[in-house]
Structure 1
Amino acid sequence: MAGIGIGLESKAAQARRRRERDAAVAAAVLRLECAKCGAGPGGPCRTAKGWTSD
């Protein structure tokens, strides 16, 4: 991962990197297809009754 091993950094920089990392993970998750429920890329998984799952 980019940014690992930088050393001491400010709390603002830590928060910025955390936001960037979280956004990258969220974007990667939305590109995946679910084999169990059949949700396509960008769509949330659904339960057997059709509710959106976490």
Structure 2
Amino acid sequence: MADVPGRREPGTGEINYPAVARTLAALGYDGTVAMEAWASDDSELALERFRSAFTL
């Protein structure tokens, strides 16, 4: 998954990733979530955004 529009990292578009993470946890999902996107600018900031997107 990647944020919309632009396939950038979480927090740069319209998808509410914390809500997605909470819903998956509430449903008992414990599998892998793959994220594939382009860094919008600073690659270190993008990596932090990827990590925090699914940290509850």
Whether TM-score is above 0.5 comes out as: no
Relative contact order higher in (CA < 8 Å, ≥ 6 apart): 2
Q: Which of these two proteins has the greater Rg computed from alpha carbons?
A: 1
